[in-house]
Amino acid sequence: MQQWTRAPATFANVMLVAIAAGGCSPGTPMPREIGQSRPVHTTEEPIPDASTDGQVDAGPADAAAGNEDTLAPESASVCPEGMVLAQGAYCPEVEHTCLGYLDPPGRYHEYRCGEYAPARCAGPRESMKFCIDAREYTPPNQSLPAHFVSFRDAKRICGGLGKRLCLESEWNFACEGEQMLPYPYGSKREASICNADHTDLRGKDGGIRDQRAPSGAHQGCVSPFGVYDMAGNLEEFVERDDAPGEPAMKGAWWLPGRNHCRARQTFHNEVYKGVETGFRCCADVVDESVAPEERPLPDMPNTERSPVRTIGCINFRTARGADGGEVDCYPYRCRNGRCLTRCKSMADCAGAQRPQDIAKEGWPLECLDECVPMHPDKVNP
């Protein structure tokens, strides 16, 4: 087999810098080989993390939005804005064979593969159809995707947007397509296509340098379904299929990681957050056979909103339904006899708005065109 090589100490030294600056424990299990005629869907991705003090930093000003016109027409009709449709036959058990590794013999030799042979599906396929964010979650009016986000944060934010955090199998399929690609862009690793393989990891303060890029800025780093940055940039939280409610991290970040669509990292728990952690959301496909006014409203945190017609406000967050029942307007307020569906200011959002109200009313809200849970870095109880 052909062997790709680099300077003998380069990769090992980079990984040691990442561990020293980020704090991955010495007891972290080392990578298991991907491929060589073995399924890779259970492969662990023990990439060194970059944990700091745990603040959520959504990054400075907006660029990630604005390319929605590149989305497939079908996505626009059945998926919420900014999401693409992933539909087809998913293979739960994939076998990949690496034709040659990039790094010299040693601890990390079988870590990054230069090129894979065509994939083989080792079992029956499953039909999938869902919507997924085309780009990593980027707060409104900001250019960089949110980081310092935990699994809990990601689930809460997706829920606040009427979406949900992706399952690992959904993320896999959106990354690899029906072709079962090892990398979102193909079978041969290309260091310059995605925001990955950086070796200058340490900042002046000794910690990991923030080298995020606006999601979608690397135009070639796109999957068969049109999903950007599924290799590198930020390591994204998903919910595990094999352990519901527990997190896995996918895609690696900007260091020289595996970046394989099936690789995952499960070392961290649901509250871990670091400079490298991010996410994107998924959603169910819109049922076009149901009229828009009859479709259920998206699930929101701590609420059982109903699409029934309202005839008046009972209080600031509760409306009276035409059927005589009560309708909880949360996260919006009831105004002029109906539940608002958009906000122009915080006054349009219901529920807790002060940090001291958290225990009594729930997580504070903020108005970002929609009423969404406030980022933890803005909450100081």
Do 51 and 184 sit in the same domain of this protein?
yes
Do 193 and 339 sit in the same domain of this protein?
no
Do 332 and 278 sit in the same domain of this protein?
no
Instruction: Give residue 180's pLDDT.
Output: 97
Q: 226, 257, 289: which is the final residue of a domain?
A: 289
- Tell me the Cα Rg of the chain: 22
User: For the purposes of burial, counting CB atoms within 10 Å of the CB of 146, is it exposed (0-12), middle (13-18) or buried (19 or more)?
Assistant: buried
Q: Which residue has the tokens 């915080």?
A: 346
Do 246 and 327 sit in the same domain of this protein?
no
d(CA 91, CA 351): 43
User: In this structure, is residue 198 part of a structural domain?
Assistant: yes
Instruction: Give residue 340's pLDDT.
Output: 83
Each residue's pLDDT tens digit, 154-179: 999 998 888 999 999 999 999 999 99
Do 80 and 214 sit in the same domain of this protein?
yes
Each residue's pLDDT tens digit, 220-261: 999 999 999 999 999 999 999 999 999 999 999 999 989 999
Do 252 and 154 sit in the same domain of this protein?
yes
Do 255 and 172 sit in the same domain of this protein?
yes
Do 271 and 195 sit in the same domain of this protein?
yes
Domain of residue 184 covers 41-88+130-289
Q: 247, 272, 289: which is the final residue of a domain?
A: 289
User: In this structure, is residue 343 part of a structural domain?
Assistant: yes
Sheet holding 120-121, edge to edge: 38-39, 94-96, 120-121
Do 281 and 138 sit in the same domain of this protein?
yes
The one-letter amino acid at 320: R
Instruction: Give residue 71's pLDDT.
Output: 56
User: In this structure, is residue 19 part of a structural domain?
Assistant: no
User: In this structure, is residue 348 part of a structural domain?
Assistant: yes
Do 207 and 239 sit in the same domain of this protein?
yes
Do 305 and 285 sit in the same domain of this protein?
no
User: In this structure, is residue 125 part of a structural domain?
Assistant: no
The one-letter amino acid at 297: L
Low-confidence ranges of the chain (pLDDT < 50): 1-9, 11, 16-17, 19-49, 51-70, 293, 297-307, 355-360, 381
User: In this structure, is residue 114 part of a structural domain?
Assistant: no
Do 219 and 76 sit in the same domain of this protein?
yes
Long-range contacts of 13-18 (CB under 8 A, 24+ apart): 14/199, 14/201, 14/255, 14/256, 15/48, 15/108, 15/255, 15/256, 17/201, 17/202, 18/47, 18/48, 18/50, 18/201, 18/208, 18/255
CATH number assigned to the domain comprising residue 240? 3.90.1580
Give every CB contact of residue 283 below 8 A, 6+ residues apart in sequence. 79, 80, 83, 130, 131, 132, 162, 163, 164
Instruction: Give residue 288's pLDDT.
Output: 64
How far from 151 is each of 136, 170, 365, CA to CA, in Å?
A: 14, 16, 19
Instruction: Give residue 378's pLDDT.
Output: 63
User: In this structure, is residue 171 part of a structural domain?
Assistant: yes
Torsion sign, CA atoms 48, 50, 51, 55 = negative
Q: 289, 312, 338: which is the final residue of a domain?
A: 289
- Compute φ and ψ for 173, nearest 5 degrees: -65, -40
User: In this structure, is residue 106 part of a structural domain?
Assistant: no
Sheet holding 310-315, edge to edge: 310-315, 318-321, 326-328
Give DSSP secondary structure letters for 301-323. TT-------EEEEEETTEEEETT
Q: Name the domain count of the chain.
A: 2
